[in-house]
């Protein structure tokens, strides 16, 4: 579960960076 949470966090961060 921890890994999934980390992955989601990373994906969200990437999306934000891409959006920027």
* pLDDT one-digit tens code per residue, 1-20: 678 877 878 788 777 777 65
| Tokens 């990373």 sit on residue | 10
pLDDT at 1: 60
pLDDT at 10: 78
Helix (H) or strand (E) holding 8, with range, is: helix 2-19
Q: How far is Cα 17 from Cα 20, in angstroms, rounded to an integer?
A: 5
pTM: 0.23
pLDDT at 20: 59
Q: How far is Cα 16 from Cα 2, in angstroms, rounded to an integer?
A: 21
């Amino acid at each position: 579960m921890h890994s999934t949470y980390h992955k989601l966090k990373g994906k969200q961060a990437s999306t934000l960076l891409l959006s920027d």
